Amino acid sequence: MASKNKPDVKVAAKSKPPKATKEKPHAGLFEDLLFARAPEEDLADYDAGALTASAKLAENALARFKSGQPVMSAKAILYPAIAARSPSSP
């Protein structure tokens, strides 16, 4: 029996989010996603190699991230070419 004060409202059941897979994304996916919405004129002045290196540094930093721990790397800031070759060391 429905209450006179409250209309009958059917609530849709919440669907479960998709389960995470352990598949490793293809190489270059992060870079594709990172620059996908950037206007071409914003990227035009940069060398493609520099954009790729920047994306790899960012992806490696995100891979090392642990909640509550900084991922700042002085080596990556001062010597980005060296840091790109050794992503496992901060």
Average pLDDT over residues 62-66: 80
Q: Which residue did the predictor score with more confidence, 37 or 80?
A: 37
**Structural contact between residues 84 and 56, judged by C-beta atoms closer than 8 angstroms:** yes
Q: Note whether residue 1 is domain-resident.
A: no
Q: For residues 45-52, give the mean pLDDT.
A: 92
Number of domains present in the structure of the chain: 1
pTM across the whole model: 0.49
Burial class (CB within 10 angstroms; exposed 0-12, middle 13-18, buried 19+) of 78:
exposed
Q: Distances in Å between the alpha carbon of 62 and those of 56, 69, 79?
A: 10, 12, 18
Whole-angstrom distance, CA of residue 28 vs CA of residue 37: 15
Q: Which domain holds residue 71?
A: 29-34+46-85
Asked if the structure places residue 20 within a domain, the reply is: no
Task: Give residue 82's pLDDT.
Answer: 62
| Percent of the chain topping pLDDT 70 | 47
Does the residue 66 lie in any domain? Answer: yes
> What are the residues whose beta carbons fall under 8 Å from the beta carbon of 62, sequence distance 6 or more?
30, 71
Tell whether 11 is covered by a domain.
no
Q: What pLDDT band is residue 65 in, cutting at 50, 70 and 90?
A: confident
Q: At residue 20, what are phi and psi to the nearest 5 degrees? A: -70, 140
